[in-house]
Amino acid sequence: MATTDTCSSAMSLIPCVRLVSVTGAKHREMGILRSSFVFFALGLLLTLSSASESEVDDETPFTYIEGTGKGPKEWGQIDPRWQACGMGKLQSPIDLLNERVQVFPNLGKLKRDYKPAPAIVRNRGHDITVMWKGDAGKININGTYYKLLQCHWHSPSEHTFNGSRYDLELHMVHLSSHGEIAVIGIVYKYGRPDPFLTKLLEHITVVGKEDTDLGVINPGIIKFGSRKYFRYIGSLTVPPCTEGVVWTIVRKVRTVSRKQVEALREAVHDGYEANARPTQQLDGRAVWLYTPGDNGGAA
């Protein structure tokens, strides 16, 4: 079994380890997982039709505070439709541990084709969301096209890298024509302001219960910073915690200012200091890493 040396990557923000390359058996596992999406789509289509614009009904009775009866551990008991939150085996977010990761170069480069489109910003009670009302483009994952619907933020980050939780996480939510969900996650630490949030900040600070028109917003402003990414099969991180979601987590940790994170938190009027779900058990799932080469490249 071969190993891959990731230690020479100047862009890697994860402590260097020697990672095991994927064998033929793992290639077959990927094929089985990919084909299983069709079955996920058949079972989840009705649920996902309502999730196409928001992950959960606005102002739903859940919180991120344990001990209230409505915290993350109780989500699965609040509503029968949310049972996956408590009983699911493919839940998100997860801790991305080096020792669990399998290098899989055949995943291929993320193919993004985003374009400017009209958008609004909405306070959903548990997060701030930008929703595109026109065609904002798509991504191509293993030959399947996923249309970009919306993006939103969690603070602190939901996914962790080797147990380390960062200051913010952006989720870009996409939907295929078959009802499959794909989410791209980008993690941030405090530092220089994020260009995308800089463009939106004045609108975020005044958003109330009514949607705010943003005009035309180009999702191409959102920078990944690296071609390297993690891939695994998980779920939505808020109720109904729908499973079968194709997760792509960009490996590069980008930067965001404290002012920008504070603006996002203050705009959510339910008093949440945080809106991040705790990490969930991996339950034997594979986590793959795509790395195109030693330099990683800029995206």
Q: Find out whether 167 and 173 touch, Cβ atoms under 8 Å.
A: no
Q: CA 97 to CA 62: how far, in whole Å?
A: 29
Torsion angle, alpha carbons of 149, 276, 242, 71, to 10: -140
Instruction: List the catalytic residue out of 126, 152, 171, 174.
Output: 126
27 is catalytic: no
289 is written with which tokens?
């890493």
The SS3 of residue 110 is coil
Q: Is 220 exposed, middle or buried (0-12, 13-18, 19+ CB in 10 A)?
A: middle
**Residue 54 near residue 123 (C-beta atoms within 8 A):** no
Q: Between β-strands 168-176 and 144-154, what pairing exists: parallel, antiparallel or unpaired?
A: antiparallel
Active-site residue numbers?
126
